[in-house]
Amino acid sequence: METEKPKSIKNVGLTIAIISGLVVFSNGMSALMFTLLGFNNYENNEAQDLTNMDSFFNNIQYFLLFLVVIGILFLIGGIQLMKYKMWAKKLLLTLSIVLISAFTLLLILAIHSAYVDNDALFALIPITIIWLLFSLPLLFLIRFLNKENIQNHLKF
C-alpha cells in the first residue's frame, strides 16, 4: 500500500510555477522596454566617472534576461515538483542559491557605490528591501525542500 503524499509539495510547486510565470512575463517585458527605449545607448558609456550602479543600470536588460532564464528554470522546477520529482528539488535548491547570491552581489555593489558616491545613497533602502523580499522566501523554500518528510516523498 502506497503512502499518501503530502499536498504541501504540490501547493508549493504550484505557487512556484505561478510566481515564476509572472517573473518571466514581467522581466521579459521590462527587458524589451529597456532595449526599445535605448537605455543602454549612452554617449558617455566609456567615461571614467561611472560607478558600479551606473554600469549596472546601463546594462540592466542583461540582468532582466538573466531573471527570465532563472524564472523559466523555476517554472520547470515548480511543475516537476508537483509531480514529486527529486531532480526538481535539486534544481530549485540550486536556483535559489544562485538567485540569493545574485541579489546579495547587487546589494554589495549598491553599498559600495553608496560608500564611494553619496548620490547612490537613495538606492540602498529599496535594494535592501528587495533583497529581503526575495531572499527570505527563497530561504524558506530551501528549508522546506530539505525537510526529511518532504524528501521521503520525492522520487527520481
* Per-residue pLDDT reduced to its tens digit, 48-91: 666 666 666 677 888 888 889 999 999 999 999 999 999 999 99
DSSP assignment of 8-70 equals: HHHHHHHHHHHHHHHHHHHHHHHHHHHHHTTTT--TTTT-TT--HHHHHHHTHHHHHHHHHHH
Select the more confidently predicted residue: 116 or 16: 16
Select the more confidently predicted residue: 39 or 128: 128
70: nearest Cα among 131, 128, 28, 130: 28
Domain boundaries, the chain: 7-41+49-151
**pLDDT at position 47 over 70:** no
Q: Name the pLDDT band for 95 (thresholds 50, 70, 90).
A: very high
Residues 6+ apart with CB under 8 A from 1: none
Find the mean pLDDT for residues 133-143.
93
Answer yes or no: pTM beyond 0.75. yes
**pLDDT at position 142 over 70:** yes
